[in-house]
Amino acid sequence: MFGKLSTRLLNICVCTFCKANRLEKAEAIIIDGIRLGVLPDVVTYNMLIDAYCQFVSFDAGYTILNRMREAGISPDVVTYNSLIAGATRNSLLSCSLDLLDEMLEMGIPPDVWSYNSLMHCLFQLGKPDEANRVFQDMICGDLTPCTATFNIMLNGLCKNRYTDNALRMFRGLQKHGFVPELVTYNILIKGLCKAGRLRTARWILKELGDSGHAPNAITYTTIMKCCFRNRKYKLGLEILSAMKRKGYTFDGFGYCTVIAAFVKIGRLKEATDYMEQMVTDGVQLDIVSYNTLINLYCKEGKLEAAYLLLDEMEKQGFECDKYTHTILIDGLCKAGNIKGARLHLEYMNKIGFDSNLEAYNCIVDRLGKDGKIDHAINVFESMEVKDSFTYSSMVHNLCKAKRLPSASKLLLSCLKSGVRILKSAQKAVVDGLRHSGCRREAKKIQSKIRMAKISH
DNA sequence: CTAGGGTTAG
């Protein structure tokens, strides 16, 4: 009896540290517990798995599975669900499916959450149809969807640009007596904000108020970010004040939103002010806040300060992620150190980052802007993966370098294959052709642009 | 213990 109670206490402590990404603390407490005769149970290991998957890597989480087996504890359905969720976060779909097989082999029947995680994974990988099929399977089978299932559906639909379907599903569920949770409202508000449908978002916000739920930090942050995106800075900052009054700025979310927004539009002084406020408020910095601040220093051209902060970050036990690397590479580019940027990119490859598209995009764009168009073309051609950003930037810079034939050729091939090109880049090609006397060519491109608009 | 908010490049 006493032993059971102690393990529950242990789990409460481990949970707190895991959620705060203090894994070494969590591990230390487990060791202390064992020394006092309080043994970790399946819940303890499940929490560790979730935390390692979230803050370190999927593999690190998976290693815990072996550790718990060695300790004589059998994994349960939550163990596998956490691992599936962990694989999901790392976009490892086949891994999620393998885990599902593995649990079946082990005689652990999947539950609602296994399917929830799988659905979530499919939505994240941009496969809404397959996610929907899992949902249908679930309804047809013995499993009853829970509120989280609906939240995952709504979120997935929104993230895959099916905002209308999400809204319709929400209304349908309400008709069937489904009582939305605060999370549900937050998901819908986020989706609507992202789709630029502010009026509907505000309407849902009003419904949230009428429902008896109080908006939380997540609701505020979402709305605030939406304000900034729509250049309503004053309103956004008012929301930040409201958050502060309610005591919701204990973490970096609100501050990072504000700082990043100001950095983006070049209002660095204000960004710095909010950075200082964040520090004064004693906000525990995590990887995202560090990234935000490093980005601020890079944009100010204070590379030294950026690298000092990077050191501090690593001393705190955080590892650079994709964002950190991209921010630094862009910082190096902006400072004119293309060679350093390329070296950093090589380093990224070496330490096993599978996707560094954003970093490549930074380099290509910066080379073009600096007038090194041939160099930019070289890097562009060496890229295995490209996106609309890459092409837009390249089209822009080719125009700038007066390489109009190449620019129009690239634009045309994008129009043909349905790659979205920034309007301003399209305009640059048409204007460029006109100014250099190729009016017929310009007309031709224009009509192709119009045709593409109709067919896509 | 598992879903929802914040960070990068035109």
Convert the pLDDT of each residue in A331-343 to its tens digit.
999 998 999 999 9
Higher pLDDT, A205 or A5: A205
* Spatial distance from the CA of A185 to the C1' of B3 (Å): 13
Instruction: State the Rg of chain A over Cα.
Output: 25
Are A369 and A343 a contacting pair, CB within 8 Å? no
- Given a cut of 60, whether residue A203 has pLDDT beyond it is yes
pLDDT value of position A61 = 92
Q: What is the mean pLDDT of residues A207-220?
A: 90
pLDDT at residue A1, rounded to an integer: 44
pLDDT of residue A427: 95
Average pLDDT taken over every residue of chain A? 91
| More confident site: A141 or A321 | A321
Which CATH entry fits the domain spanning A1-145: 1.20.58.1610, 1.10.3720.10, 3.40.1360.10, 1.25.40.10? 1.25.40.10
Structure tokens at A73: 């504890």
Question: Which protein residue's Cα is closest to nucleotide B4 at C1'?
Answer: A183
Mean pLDDT, rounded, for A227-238: 91
Instruction: Please choose, from the candidates A359, A358, A390, the residue with its C-alpha nearest in 3D space to the C-alpha of residue A377.
Output: A390
Q: Residue A2: is its pLDDT beyond 60?
A: no
Using the structure block, give the residue that is written with the tokens 């950075």. Answer: A275
Q: How many C-beta atoms lie closer than 10 Å to residue A413's C-beta?
A: 11
Which nucleotide does the CA of A217 lie closest to, via C1'? B5
Instruction: Give tens-digit pLDDT for A380-400.
Output: 999 988 999 999 999 999 999
Q: How many residues are listed for chain A in this entry?
A: 456
Measured in whole angstroms, the distance separating CA A92 from the mean position of its chain's CA atoms is 15
pLDDT of res. A453:
81
Measure A267 CA to B1 C1' (Å). 42
- Name the residue with higher pLDDT: A25 or A353: A25
Confidence of residue A456 (pLDDT cuts 50, 70, 90): low
Protein-proximal nucleotides of chain B (any atom < 7 Å from a CB): 1-10
Print burial letters for A317-347: b (CB count within 10 Å at least 16), e (below 16): ebebebbbbbbbbbbbbbbebbebbbebbee
pLDDT(A185) > 80: yes
Q: How confident is the model at residue A3 (pLDDT cuts 50, 70, 90)?
A: low
Residue A390 CA distance to nucleotide B9 C1' (Å): 9
- Say what percent of chain A tops pLDDT 70: 98
Per-residue pLDDT tens for A250-273? Answer: 788 999 999 999 999 999 999 999
Mean predicted confidence (pLDDT) in A70-92? 89
What CA dihedral angle connects A358, A361, A366 and A367, to 10 degrees? 140
